[in-house]
Amino acid sequence: MKTAIYPGTFDPITNGHLDVINKALLFIDKLIVALPETPAKKPFFSLSKRMRFIRESTKGKSVDVVSFSGLLSDFAKTKKCSLIVKGVRGSADLDYELQMAYQNARLNPKLQTLFIPPSEQYSHLSSTLVKELASFRHKESLSSMVPRCVEKALLDRLDFS
């Protein structure tokens, strides 16, 4: 059984992330979506909400949603998993993700990182853009960018539904 870890902050999960999950599941049996308990930036949504959005939008798929503390390379060891999946939308993502992949491999030499580009329609989509559009009350764009549960939470949270 091939298992991979898909780590990220997912603040919030977008249709681009879901596209990467679907692509990964074409050749990976189980995906562990892993969120750091203490991410680098203060997230907009709490950890439990971000995890709930992912669970709701991947229902019925071979996806586990978990949180982890400490280094990703150590978490991978505890899961006995040697494959990391990351989405890359372009050269800026790739530059950053390569640094992370090399560092993770230095920390845990068994780790391999597999980069998956999302479909072209999601190549300019990011959680940051979603939050920006939501803050400008651009409701129309949101439905094509995020799953329904996230759209609803953004509308409720920003109180313009």
17 is catalytic: yes
**b (16+ CB within 10 A) / e for 28-54:** beebbbbbbeeeeeebbbebebbbebb
Name the residue nearer to ligand PNS (CB basis): 42 or 140.
42
Residue 107, SS3 per DSSP: helix
Q: Which of 25, 47, 71, 98 binds ligand PNS (CB under 6 A)?
A: 71
Q: Is the peptide bond before 12 cis (omega within 30 degrees of 0)?
A: yes
Q: Which stretch binds ligand PNS (CB under 6 A): 7-15, 16-24, 115-123, 142-150?
A: 7-15
Name the residue nearer to ligand PNS (CB basis): 37 or 140.
37
Binding site for ligand PNS (CB under 6 A): 7-9, 36, 40, 71-73, 100, 103-104
